[in-house]
Amino acid sequence: QVIYLNGEYVSKEDAKISVFDHGFLYGDGIFEGIRIYGGNIFKCKEHLDRLYDSAKSIMLDIPLAYDEMEQALIETIRKNALRDGYIRLVVSRGPGNLGLDPKRCPKAWVIIIVEQLAIYPEEAYRDGLVSVSVSQRRNIPDALNPKIKSLNYLNNILVKIQANLAGVGEAIMLNSQGYVAEGSSDNIFIIKRGVVYTPPCYVGALEGITRATIIELCEKLGYSLKEEPFTLHDVYVADEVFFTGTAAEVIAVREVDGRTIGGGKAGPITTHLLGEFRKTVEVDGVK
């Protein structure tokens, strides 16, 4: 495994960061998780746009221009000889001193890790996942805007811990007003009477790139799509529920908090959207 570390390609063993790195000390940095399908970087522009927007918002200077970043991604994939996998792109504020002041960090660090992806088994896409709602609440956009894909993932990690305790793979997080926000690392959709709903990002959801792809697909396929806040009640009585994310793609949910969703397996619209999503992934990317 070859890792990109500040312009150099190093082995996994040599890919080290300083204990004074503010990404490590404070979670001061941003990241992206990107898929490679058949040698293509899926939605490369969308991921880089989100990265550079997150950087601008937190006044983090990425030391690479957009094109250089794209080239670094391509080169790291090439060096790892991977056709299908996952890219983790991290930009940390870089090494500083123990104070939290970013002015003490002269240069951001860029790290690119390319890896095989552990994905759900294929039957999970047919049978659907069991999920639960958790007590952890999503920050709504007052302090930490969920549009910033920052390295501060404690909120999501607490959701994941609750999911682990419940023995499920993904859980549902509400915001402080009780509206459904998203999963620990996936966006959520529900379907009722043929209409597809997903929470607007202002309730506290990341502007997921898979989410955006599904919204586009719904338009293309003629499904009515509404970005509207909804509650757990709406999830329980939905005909279909699914999560979306770079790693999970489009995965059905068959049970939430003990309530069976629809027919208790992946429903027809979810299955249709997954099929169409998988048709687009290999053509819609950067080689």
Examine residue 204 and tell whether it contacts ligand PMP (CB under 6 A). no
Among 54, 133, 187, 198, binds ligand PMP (CB under 6 A): 187
Kindly tell me the sign of the dihedral angle through the C-alpha atoms of 39, 43, 49, 52: negative
Choose, from 56, 149, 220, 226, the residue flagged as catalytic: 149
Binding residues for ligand PMP, how many (CB under 6 A)? Answer: 14
Q: Identify the residue whose tokens are 């150099």.
A: 8
Judge whether 149 counts as a catalytic residue.
Answer: yes
Binning the chain into helix, strand and coil, the percentages to the nearest 5 are 30, 30, 40
Examine residue 206 and tell whether it contacts ligand PMP (CB under 6 A). yes
Examine residue 150 and tell whether it contacts ligand PMP (CB under 6 A). no
What residue number has its CB nearest to ligand PMP? 208
Among 73, 209, 218, 274, binds ligand PMP (CB under 6 A): 209
* Alpha helices by DSSP H, 108-208: 122-127, 154-166
User: Identity (one letter) of the amino acid at 65?
Assistant: A
Q: Among 72-80, 178-186, 192-200, 233-241, which window interacts with ligand PMP (CB under 6 A)?
A: 178-186
Q: Among 96-104, 126-134, 196-204, 241-249, which window interacts with ligand PMP (CB under 6 A)?
A: 241-249
Spell 121-153 as b/e; 16+ CB within 10 A means b. Answer: eeebbeebbbbbbbebbbebeeeebbbbbbbbe
Examine residue 182 and tell whether it contacts ligand PMP (CB under 6 A). yes
CA atoms within 13 A on the CB side of 232: 18
Beta bridge partners of 242: 189, 252
Examine residue 156 and tell whether it contacts ligand PMP (CB under 6 A). yes
Examine residue 33 and tell whether it contacts ligand PMP (CB under 6 A). yes
Among 21, 28, 186, 240, binds ligand PMP (CB under 6 A): 186
Examine residue 54 and tell whether it contacts ligand PMP (CB under 6 A). no
Beta-carbon contacts of 284 under 8 Å, excluding residues fewer than 6 positions away, are: 40, 42, 43
User: 42 or 109, CB closer to ligand PMP?
Assistant: 42
User: 21 or 186, CB closer to ligand PMP?
Assistant: 186
Question: DSSP letter string over 6-72?
Answer: TTEEEETTT----TTBHHHHH--EEEEEEEEETTEEETHHHHHHHHHHHHHHTT---SS-HHHHHHH
Q: Among 57-65, 184-192, 193-201, 265-273, which window interacts with ligand PMP (CB under 6 A)?
A: 184-192
Q: Among 66-74, 102-110, 207-215, 257-265, which window interacts with ligand PMP (CB under 6 A)?
A: 207-215
